[in-house]
A and B are shown apart, each in its own frame.
Chain A
Amino acid sequence: MATEEKDIKKKPAQNPVETERTRSRKVFLPKVDIYETKDSIVLIADMPGVDENHVDMTLEKNILTINGQVEPQGFPGYGAAYAEYDVGDYQRAFTISDEVDRDRIDARVKNGVLRVTLHKAEQVKARKIAIKAE
């Protein structure tokens, strides 16, 4: 394992506003990695149990919200004997800066991992100013 150990236990999510969900299911904060490249920002979220039909993303003003729904599974004839993780939905919201092009956000889900690419707007990319020598 890498040098630093990370706590892999899922943390319960806090709703950003004082609202209640209609579904009485547990909600967790997915763990994310976010990195920035020259022309995009990449967000990777661990959402085990979620497929492409059960995830949705909304962008309102500058808040990007990720929602994932997980169907709890049971096995007939089997009883829970031991548990290290809990099953529930995922929710997390991020504020997005103005440099992100609102119309060019790609999202893919594979093996329970959501990968969102937020492309930077053209004018932001061209902001670099060349300095000439006299």
Chain B
Amino acid sequence: MFGPGVWRFGRIADPVTDMQRLQREMNRLFSGASELYGHDFPPVNVWRGEDGVIVTAEAPGIDPEKVDISVVGDSLTLSGVRERDVLKEGESYHRQERKQGRFTRTLQMPFHVESGKVEAKYEKGVLRITLPRAEADKPRKIKIKTE
């Protein structure tokens, strides 16, 4: 469910997938390869409202000009690059914990997005994207007539 590739939210927790996830977590712990299946960058939080969704992502140190946000139908794709400092000769790292390089993430929304009204803001290393629900995709209220 949280692998690279398309991810969706808004589903009711399914006990089978929960079990599978637990199993995968356990395998990860015991295989010693925990770093290999680390979470995707950037980590996101999703907020859901009546008219749409807000996605926040912790992506410190990126150039907002070089972040590509694209919305197609119900999927949102974030891609960009985190540049690393180029070391000169004779310079060396003491430690390197920050993740760097190119990143791409695709998230699937539970509805079609009004792509023309998507807003994105980058502040203090946190990216915030507001995705309004497409008008055509909104639930329609059906009036019940009485005779």
Contact = CB atoms under 8 A, between A and B. Distances in A.
A68 to B, nearest CB: 10
A78 B126 CA distance: 18
Contacts of B49: 75, 77-79
B51 to A, nearest CB: 8
B92 interface: yes
B43 A85 contact: yes
A80 to B, nearest CB: 6
Contact of A37 (B35, B84, B88): B88
A66 interface: no
Contacts of A38: 90-91
Q: Is the interface of A mostly helix, strand, loop or mixed?
A: loop
A99 interface: no
A8 B94 contact: no
A34 interface: yes
A125 to B, nearest CB: 13
Nearest to B104: A1
B61 A46 contact: yes
A79 B45 CA distance: 11
A126 to B, nearest CB: 16
B91 A111 contact: no
B121 to A, nearest CB: 12
Contact of A77 (B50, B61, B64, B103): B50
A46 B43 contact: no
B103 A50 contact: no
Interface of B: 9-10, 34-50, 53-54, 56, 58-62, 64, 84-85, 87-88, 90-103, 122, 124-126
17 contacts: A1-B99, A1-B101, A5-B38, A8-B42, A32-B97, A33-B96, A33-B97, A35-B87, A35-B94, A38-B90, A38-B91, A42-B85, A46-B125, A49-B126, A50-B124, A77-B49, A80-B45
